[in-house]
Amino acid sequence: MRLRYATGVVLPYFLRKDGTVGPLAFAHRGFSLDGLENSMAAFRAAVELGTVHLETDVHTTADGVLLVFHDESLDRVTDSAGRISELTAEDVAKARIKGLEPVPTFDELVAAVPQGRLNLDVKDWNSVVPVAEAIGKHGIHDRVLVTSFSDRRRRAVLRRLCRRVATSAGSTLTAVFVFLGPVLPAALARKLLAGVDVFQVPARYGRFPVVTSGFVRRAHKAGLQVHVWTINEPAEMERLLDLGVDGIVSDRLDLLKEVLVRRGEWV
């Protein structure tokens, strides 16, 4: 399905690397079979495999440096410890992911992948202003999708931007659409989803299926894409692509690439 917006064109973020419309392959925190998530090595590996869409997360240090990192603390994936919001950038610079790779700054990531499309999950309120300022400083409005589980936090970033960026619905809006979508009046749905471009959702929540043919159909009718996370099994990738989803977020970009190649949908 060719998704078109009020301008009559697809937002640049949703185009594949050759400028066409089709299923997007998102590298979840980059690509690393060795657990080097959100490291420059993982992002470089994803780009080398052929994707431009990189899913990542941001946190901000006590002295205002925006970092590419998932957890609120260093404890789980690095050889250091402590909450990022309570540490300086100099403190974090000493940490190594799995004892090997430094924690990248957002500026470093932007510089290293000039063609990259960044799916930015804003993890905390401390990062709202730094994210907006970084997008403006680098002029990457067409290269980012701003997302957060918190619709309020997501909107807070968007209000601080001088230009439109792609954005996904947070948990509350998504839940409303999942549970009430079949009976929600079209006019009310459009009002609730004004400015939203995509639902980024799990295939199921516990035993409850989220991504169904009906959900995808209703999202497309509302002009929104559907991206599904985090899918690592080829059979599930195939099933979701058959349903018509517009993107898959995966730890196994290598397997996702193989699936898309077989389907003739890899650029």
Q: How far apart are CA 22 and CA 50, in angstroms?
A: 15
């009906």: which residue's tokens?
Answer: 214
**Fold classified for 12-262:** TIM Barrel (3.20.20)
Distance (Å, whole) CA 213 – CA 227 = 13
Residues sharing a CB contact under 8 Å with residue 106, sequence separation 6 or more, in sequence order:
58, 66, 67, 68, 130, 131, 134
How far is the CA of 144 from the CAs of 93, 118, 211, in angstroms?
Answer: 25, 5, 24
Using CA atoms, how far apart are residues 248 and 38, in angstroms rounded to an integer?
18
CA distance 245 to 74: 34
What are the residue boundaries of the structural domains of the chain, listed by start?
12-262
DSSP-based three-state secondary structure for 164: coil
pLDDT tens per residue, the chain (267 residues)? Answer: 344 333 345 899 999 988 899 999 999 999 999 999 999 999 999 999 999 999 999 999 999 999 999 999 999 999 999 999 999 999 999 999 999 999 999 999 999 999 999 999 999 999 999 999 999 999 999 999 999 999 999 999 999 999 999 999 999 999 999 999 888 887 888 888 999 999 999 999 988 999 999 999 999 988 899 999 999 999 999 999 999 999 999 999 999 999 999 999 998
Determine contact, residues 265/256, Cβ cutoff 8 Å.
Answer: no
Positions marked catalytic: 28, 70
How many whole angstroms separate alpha carbon 234 and alpha carbon 240?
10
